[in-house]
Amino acid sequence: MSKTISFVMIGGFLGAGKTTLIARLAHHYSRAGKKIAIVTNDQAFGLVDTEHLRSEGFSVGEVPGACFCCKFDDLVETAAKLSLEQLPDVLIAEPVGSCTDLMATVIEPMRQIYGDRFQVGPLTVLVKPEHGEKILSGNGKVGFSPKAAYIFQKQIEEANIVAINKIDKLSPERIGHLIESIDSRFPGKKIIPLSGRSGENFDRLVSSIENPELAKRTFMDVDYDIYASGESELGWYNCQISAEMPAVEGGNHGDTGRGKFELDRLVLQLIEEIALELRENRAEPVHLKILGQSKNMTESTHSAIANLVASDAAPELSLKSEIWTNSADLIVNARVATDPNTLEKTVKNVVDRLARRGLVELSLTGIQAFQPGRPVPIHRMTQ
Ligand SMILES: Nc1nc2c(ncn2[C@@H]2O[C@H](COP(=O)(O)OP(=O)(O)OP(=O)(O)O)[C@@H](O)[C@H]2O)c(=O)[nH]1
Ligand SMILES: [Mg+2]
């Protein structure tokens, strides 16, 4: 009899910490001797998350171009491709952070159509405190409209496990308020406050994910008009940037003839300058991330990632490469509550400005700038 694969889906809003937690979960299961496969998903191509998780040594497939629900067959096909060499024990899926209705459009079809292949676990949704506290309390300026906030709340409504993430940076009072407001608005949920970064309460999450009693069918009504217009409020922008140290005439820098730049500093500086410009345009960053990898093969296993998850959060380096290099490839993934043209101009201005300083040559390629289209799920099973 062929074995069934445990299917674990970790949802949550853009920048909630899904990839960080998935990396921790994948390391946890690998250490326990299990074979892991991961599927990432996005509206665009060229994903920071895919490169990040691959650089951690995992087998990662990507479903780009639309959300899992609209590309359900691609999800199953990608999982099958990842299983060609060796069947994984656990398949972890990261849906797009602006996606909801996953229970009816992905989880239930997985159970009903592929139940012989997959053991479908509870749907875990991470709550992003940076926008969540304002959305759930109704206090403070969220930076995007109630239609986009509708998606955030629907994600919690359908979750089997609601994981309040990033508690390492929240006071006990703030954690208490979040628990209270989630419990009063969505009673009966399994709520776990945790930190995907520090690992606090990670064990509690793992035992809940493995508890089949929590994998309940929680179907809900979704107004696809609100959902679609909420999602289309967000501008999506991806590109690649080639960063090269200019050749120094008569310089003496070994056989390359060039000096080196600090990769971590470069990705952080780009994020910081984009953050400033977005603030001037009053455009709320939902998640802006830049990954940098050296083009030099011996250094390319070290990745740098800089992130910005909200206008009132500080840009940060979530992954340090700690390398100096003379050439690097960067991937920019930006999801911001503004129109894609403004977003494209912002990134271009910043890149041009930095390049003019002459410290490093930067060239932009592979630009994708758009607003997500209306979600049209392949399946919607609510029985
Ligand atoms: N303080 C803190 N930061 C965290 C934690 N988990 C993730 N982050 C940070 O939050 C940012 C976003 O994390 P990701 O894991 O990329 O979030 P995501 O949900 O996968 O984002 P998208 O794929 O863009 O939707 C990064 O800067 C992470 O380092 C946490 O537990 N604590
Ligand atoms: Mg991610």
Report the topology of domain 5-230.
Rossmann fold (3.40.50)
Residue pair 96/105 in contact (Cβ under 8 Å)? The answer is no
pLDDT confidence of residue 155:
98
C-alpha–C-alpha distance, residues 377 and 106, integer Å? 9
Q: Which atom of ligand 1 is nearest to the CA of 16?
A: 19
Residue pair 325/296 in contact (Cβ under 8 Å)? The answer is yes
Q: Which atom of ligand 1 is nearest to the CA of 195?
A: 31
**Ligand 2 centre distance from Cα of residue 237 (Å):** 15
Count CA atoms closer than 13 A to 130's CA, side-chain side: 21
Tokens of 34: 């299990």
Domain covering 234-370 in this structure, CATH number: 3.30.70
pLDDT confidence of residue 1:
45
C-alpha–C-alpha distance, residues 284 and 128, integer Å? 15
Q: Which of 50, 168, 318 to mutate to test the pocket of ligand 1 (most atoms within 8 A of CB)?
A: 318
Q: Which string of b and e fits 129-145 if b means at least 16 CB within 10 Å? A: bbbbbbbbeeeeebbbe
Q: Which atom of ligand 1 is nearest to the CA of 12?
A: 19
**Ligand 1 centre distance from Cα of residue 256 (Å):** 36
Block means of pLDDT (10 residues each) for the chain, 383 residues, are 87 98 98 98 95 95 96 96 94 98 97 96 98 94 94 98 98 98 97 98 98 95 98 96 84 62 97 97 97 88 94 97 96 97 97 93 97 96 90
C-alpha–C-alpha distance, residues 227 and 131, integer Å? 17
Q: Which atom of ligand 1 is nearest to the CA of 97?
A: 25
**Ligand 2 centre distance from Cα of residue 248 (Å):** 38
C-alpha–C-alpha distance, residues 255 and 10, integer Å? 47
End-to-end CA, the chain: 29
Tokens of 169: 């940076």
Residue pair 310/143 in contact (Cβ under 8 Å)? The answer is yes
Indicate the domain borders of the chain. 5-230, 234-370
Residue pair 8/93 in contact (Cβ under 8 Å)? The answer is yes
Q: Which atom of ligand 1 is nearest to the CA of 286?
A: 24
**Strand (E) positions, 155-217?**
161-164, 190-193
Instruction: Supply the residue whose CA is at minimum distance from atom 14 of ligand 1.
Output: 17
Bridge partner residues of 368 (DSSP): 238
* Owner of token pair 């000096």: 259
Residues with CB under 6 Å of ligand 1 are 12, 14-20, 49, 97, 165-166, 168-169, 195-197, 287, 307, 309, 316, 318
**Ligand 2 centre distance from Cα of residue 44 (Å):** 13
- Give the β-pairing of 190-193 and 161-164: parallel
Closest CA to 189 of 119, 108, 128, 124: 124
Question: How big is the chain by its Cα radius of gyration, in Å?
Answer: 21
Instruction: Supply the residue whose CA is at minimum distance from atom 6 of ligand 1.
Output: 17
